Amino acid sequence: MKHKIFVDGQEGTTGLKINERLNLRDDVIILKIDPQKRKDTSERKRLLNEADIVFLCLPDAAARESVSLVENDRTRIIDASTAHRTDDRWAYGLAELSAEHRKRIKSSMRVSVPGCFATGFNAAVYPLVKEGIIPSDYPLTCHSVSGYSGGGKKLIEQYEDITENSERLKSPRFYSLGLTHKHLPEMQKVCSLDFAPLFTPIVSCFYQGMSVAVPIMPRLLPKRLGAAELQEFFSDYYKNEHFIRVMPYNAESNLDNGYLGAEECNGTNYLHLFVFGNDDRILLLSRLDNLGKGASGAAVQNMNIMLGIDEKKGLDF
């Protein structure tokens, strides 16, 4: 049996990547909208209600509108926007966090794809809070470096427009300096934190890939643990998860002459989780493809779970 799939927002960065992955498969039928009818509500409504699975790759308001157009109890929706990530009626689509997350995704009609930064942060922080290693009121900070594709079409055009004043785009650039980044609500809610972390994202002059860093001070933990012990904890926590790879502790093989790049997971659905440091200072670092595990890869993985097929299908290449 082939499943009918509709990508609403197929021309966006995430929509294009989802279609790339689905085009390699023989178990789905991709419903396409005529480009001339992309804004035709009646045509979108027809396709939304015809599909077995709908991917929403839209701005938040448009995603909410699409959900309202579904009038049957059969179409299942996977939303890549921010619109539903903290909505309790929607399953949070990061299955690796716990058996309960995966179970809820499998049975849900509505699944939200986590934000790329939140994926890296939550993969590192959720297990620590869940197991009582850090308290819910711990003063967390997070810093991340990302390729410019995470900013969508406008930022991509800005970086790739040869007529731009490219000199000002060469250096990494902090942004969201009002400290109200749109991924903060899901970081706080999913990890059951009393307070949102202080999060500072940085965009840099490469297309895709990201590193998300979370410092931990052992002296502030209820039970003092060093970096090596935390690496062992994560290795055990994620030992059965195919797409999360906990890397060896402080291994020189992780580095390129002492440097850690952000692009090594590009084109994959993998997330690399590193633990660096010692008994006094620890740095947790997630590396992932912001267009893969941070967007399209996670979306397709959720689809596989919802359909009860091999979670890795279409994602290991």
User: Which residue numbers are catalytic?
Assistant: 116
Q: What is the dihedral of CA 33, 60, 97, 100, to 10 degrees?
A: -80
- In whole angstroms, what is the distance from residue 44 CA to residue 63 CA? 12
Q: CA 167: distance to chain centroid?
A: 30
- CB-facing half-sphere around the CA of 236: CA atoms within 13 A: 8
Residue 292 DSSP symbol? I
Q: What sections of 53-202 are H helices per DSSP?
A: 60-69, 99-107, 116-130, 152-160, 184-190
Continuous segment of H or E residues that includes residue 246: strand 244-246
Continuous segment of H or E residues that includes residue 212: strand 210-216
Asked if residues 132 and 190 have their Cβ atoms less than 8 Å apart, the reply is no
Asked if residues 120 and 212 have their Cβ atoms less than 8 Å apart, the reply is yes
Tell me phi and psi for residue 70, to 5 degrees: -80, 120
Place of tokens 């596989």: 304
